[in-house]
Amino acid sequence: MTTRKKFRGGFPLGDNAWRTRAACAGMDTDAFYGDPRRQAALARAVCGPCPVRVPCLAAVLVFEAHAIGGRHGTAGGLSAQQREDAVAAGLGVALVAQA
């Protein structure tokens, strides 16, 4: 019998302990959506030096692969368009390795 992981808060359940160490922990998540220029600035300022950027990016890529409605906002230091372009080019896994 196969068990599917349930989703909560946009990310798969499982080892999400990394989320407590995220530079954005406690921030208003609305800041990561909306104006693309503001999102780019956040990605540089908050996500760039974040110690858990790789697991964040990996989690969002997994979530988006199963989500309906496309990619939105900034996650793992990349915009929705940057993530879409990387996945379309077959670079999703390589993207995580380089983050």
Check: CB of residue 88 under 8 Å from CB of residue 82: no
User: Does 89 fall in a domain?
Assistant: yes
Sign of CA dihedral 13, 31, 64, 50: negative
pLDDT tens profile 3-59:
334 444 444 445 678 888 999 998 888 888 888 888 888 888 999 899 998 888 888
User: Does 5 fall in a domain?
Assistant: no
Report how far residue 64's alpha carbon sits from residue 81's, in angstroms, rounded to the nearest whole number.
12
User: Does 25 fall in a domain?
Assistant: yes
User: Does 8 fall in a domain?
Assistant: no
User: Does 27 fall in a domain?
Assistant: yes
pTM over 0.85: no
The number of angstroms, rounded, from the C-alpha of 34 to the middle of its chain's C-alpha atoms is 15
